[in-house]
A = this chain, B = another copy of it.
Amino acid sequence: MTVAWNRYGKVSVRLVRVERRATPHELVDLTIDVQIEGAFESVYDGDNRACLATDTMKNTVYALARTPFDSMEVFALRLADHFADKSGVSSVRISATEQPWLRLSVAGRPHPHAFAQPGGERWTTVITRGRSSDVTTTRVVSGLTDLLVLKTTDSAFADFPRDEYTTLPETDERILATSITATWSYRSRAVDFTARERIRSALVETFAAHVSRSVQHTLAAMGEAALAACADLAEITLTLPNRHHLLVDLAPFGLDNPNVVFVATDQPYGLIEATIRR
């Protein structure tokens, strides 16, 4: 029997790159697949001497992302050229998908380092109408969910307690990203429900402007701003997953990484929830 065709590689490599040499910051968020074909039949017999490790492919993506690029096509071509030179390779396929981020607009102006991915955003309401003996009560809880926001600076996390299982270093500079879910209860069923837009703006603009010492710290500021924006709100509950962006260690490749190259991770994630009340 023979290996009639073969291809292998590393896929779903998550890369977030921040260009912060000037203001405003530039952000690009990519998912990359590296796949190669070639004379790798011996690998199928158990001889790995020709098998470029897929882990090496992943490292290469991050190392080559240290140098700026103008578009994902230019970066994908850079990767294709690199792997085409490897021994045994007859064909390289680089696939890249960009998750586009929009620069947040705050007070009518584009923000220098805060972004949104409003795509999956949904608006919600839950009406609960109950009756006990002769009393009827109606509760209106509206909200929004899956509004992704990210800021490339003005976020720190330090001074937290350390126990025998703590390894996290303190940081005064990190990416802060979250997917906002908010629910708020209205004072009555007869309010102006277009308040949603004002509340949304308050949440997003506060996220952008706040100098954050923790997700909790920013959550409280966002909640206060929402309550200030709409007198009809009794309280607001915010659920903020911490969508971690980890700085990639490029030192093994002789490169520094001054908050430029990050890996976006899905799990595990921090989850911060609180209700802010007047």
Determine if A130 is an interface residue (Cβ-Cβ < 8 Å): yes
By secondary structure, the A interface counts as mixed
Chain B residues in 8 Å Cβ range of A215: 8
Q: Is A149 an interface residue (CB 8 A)?
A: no
Q: Which 6 A-B pairs have the closest CB atoms?
A: A119-B119, A12-B267, A54-B270, A6-B274, A44-B220, A55-B168
| A90: nearest chain-B partner, CB-CB | B131
Please measure, in the bound complex, the distance between the C-alpha atom of A49 and the C-alpha atom of B72, giving whole angstroms. 42
B269 near A12: Cβ-Cβ < 8 Å? yes
- Can you list 24 A-B pairs, Cβ within 8 angstroms, ordered by A? A1-B277, A2-B277, A9-B271, A13-B267, A33-B271, A35-B271, A45-B220, A46-B214, A49-B160, A51-B216, A52-B161, A54-B268, A56-B165, A77-B189, A84-B129, A90-B130, A90-B131, A92-B127, A92-B129, A96-B124, A96-B125, A97-B122, A98-B122, A100-B123
Is A67 part of the binding interface, using a Cβ–Cβ cutoff of 8 Å?
no
**Bound CA span A204–B242, Å:** 34
Give every chain B residue within 8 A of A166 (Cβ-Cβ).
53, 55-56, 59
Q: A residues bordering B, Cβ < 8 Å?
A: 1-14, 33, 35, 40, 43-56, 58-60, 63, 70-74, 76-77, 79-81, 84, 87, 89-100, 117-132, 136, 138, 140, 142, 145, 157-168, 189, 193-194, 213-217, 219-220, 223-224, 227, 235, 237, 241-242, 252-253, 266-278
Closest to A164 in B: B253
Q: Which residues of B contact A4 (CB under 8 A)?
A: 235, 274-277
B120 touches A120 (CB 8 A): yes
What distance in Å separates the Cβ of A56 from its nearest Cβ neighbour in chain B? 4
How many copies of this protein are present in the complex? 4
| A158 surroundings in chain B (CB, below 8 A) | 48
A266 → chain B closest CB, angstroms: 6
Contacts of A81 in B (CB 8 A): 129
Q: How far apart sit A126 and B128, CA to CA, in the bound complex (Å)?
A: 27
A234 to chain B, nearest CB (A): 10
Q: Kindly list chain B residues whose C-beta atoms are within 8 Å of the C-beta of A48.
A: 157-160, 213-214
Most B CB within 10 A of own CB, among A44, A161, A194, A273: A44
